[in-house]
Amino acid sequence: MAIKFGTSGWRAVIADQFTFSNVRKAAQAIAGYVKAHHSPKKTPPLVVIGHDTRFNSREFAVSAARVLSANGVKALLTDRDTPTPVISYQVINRKADGAVNITASHNPPEYNGLKFSPFHGGPAAPEVTGEIEKRAAAIKREVPEPAVTDLKYPIEIFDPKPEYFARIKNLVDLETIKKARPKVVVDVMHGTGRGYLDHILKGCGCEVEVLNAELDPLFGGHPPEPAKDNIQKMLHEVKRRRARLGLGLDGDADRFGIVDEEGRFYTPDEVIALLFEHLIETRPKLPQVARTHSTTTLIDRIARKYGIEVVETPIGFKYIGEVLMSGKCIIGGEESGGLSVAKHVPEKDGILACLLVTEMVAARRKKLSSIMEGIYREFGRSYPGKMNIKLDDSRKAKLLRMLAGQPLKEIAGMKVVKTCARDGHKYTLEDSSWLLIRPSGTEPLIRFHFEGTTAAKNRKLAAYCQKLINQLK
Instruction: Kindly state whether residues 76 and 210 are assigned to the same domain.
Output: no
Instruction: pLDDT band for 45, please (50, 70, 90 cuts).
Output: very high
Q: How many residues are given for the chain?
A: 473
Task: Give the H or E element holding residue 275.
Answer: helix 268-282
User: What is the CATH classification number for the domain harbouring 404?
Assistant: 3.30.310.50
Task: With respect to residue 398, please indicate whether it lies within any of the assigned structural domains.
Answer: yes
Position 442 pLDDT exceeds 70: no
Instruction: Kindly state whether residues 232 and 309 are assigned to the same domain.
Output: yes
Q: Cα separation of 241 and 283, whole Å?
A: 33
* Domain end point (choices 340, 360, 379): 379
Task: With respect to residue 71, please indicate whether it lies within any of the assigned structural domains.
Answer: yes
Instruction: Kindly state whether residues 212 and 241 are assigned to the same domain.
Output: yes
Instruction: pLDDT band for 1, please (50, 70, 90 cuts).
Output: low
Instruction: Kindly state whether residues 114 and 88 are assigned to the same domain.
Output: yes
pLDDT digits (tens, 9 = 90+) for 310-360: 999 999 899 999 999 999 999 999 999 999 999 999 999 999 999 999 999
Instruction: Kindly state whether residues 153 and 184 are assigned to the same domain.
Output: no
Instruction: Kindly state whether residues 390 and 369 are assigned to the same domain.
Output: no
User: Which residues are bridge partners to 444 per DSSP?
Assistant: none
Read off the pTM: 0.95
Instruction: Kindly state whether residues 231 and 358 are assigned to the same domain.
Output: yes
380 φ, ψ to 5°?
90, 155
Task: With respect to residue 69, please indicate whether it lies within any of the assigned structural domains.
Answer: yes
Number of domains in the chain: 3
Least confident of 12-21, 260-269, 281-290, 401-410: 401-410
pLDDT digits (tens, 9 = 90+) for 410-435: 999 999 999 988 889 999 999 899 99
Q: What is the mean pLDDT of residues 50-72?
A: 98
User: What is the CATH classification number for the domain harbouring 114?
Assistant: 3.40.120.10
Instruction: Kindly state whether residues 361 and 389 are assigned to the same domain.
Output: no
Q: Tally helices (H) and strands (E) across the chain.
A: 15, 21
Side chain identity at 374, as an amino acid letter? Answer: G
Task: With respect to residue 3, please indicate whether it lies within any of the assigned structural domains.
Answer: no
By CB neighbour count within 10 A (0-12 exposed, 13-18 middle, 19+ buried), where does 264 fall? middle
Instruction: Kindly state whether residues 182 and 98 are assigned to the same domain.
Output: no
Task: With respect to residue 2, please indicate whether it lies within any of the assigned structural domains.
Answer: no
Instruction: Kindly state whether residues 48 and 121 are assigned to the same domain.
Output: yes
Task: With respect to residue 4, please indicate whether it lies within any of the assigned structural domains.
Answer: no
Instruction: Kindly state whether residues 332 and 403 are assigned to the same domain.
Output: no
Sheet holding 10-13, edge to edge: 10-13, 111-117, 98-102, 46-51, 74-78, 156-158
Instruction: Kindly state whether residues 274 and 261 are assigned to the same domain.
Output: yes
Q: How far apart are the first and last CA of the chain?
A: 33
pLDDT at 473: 67
* Domain end point (choices 319, 353, 379): 379
Task: With respect to residue 76, please indicate whether it lies within any of the assigned structural domains.
Answer: yes
Sheet holding 410-411, edge to edge: 383-390, 445-452, 434-439, 425-429, 414-420, 410-411
Q: Cα separation of 118 and 124, whole Å?
A: 6
Instruction: pLDDT band for 449, please (50, 70, 90 cuts).
Output: very high
Instruction: pLDDT band for 114, please (50, 70, 90 cuts).
Output: very high
pLDDT mean across residues, the chain: 95
Could you list the residue range(s) of the whole structural domain that residue 401 is in? Answer: 383-470
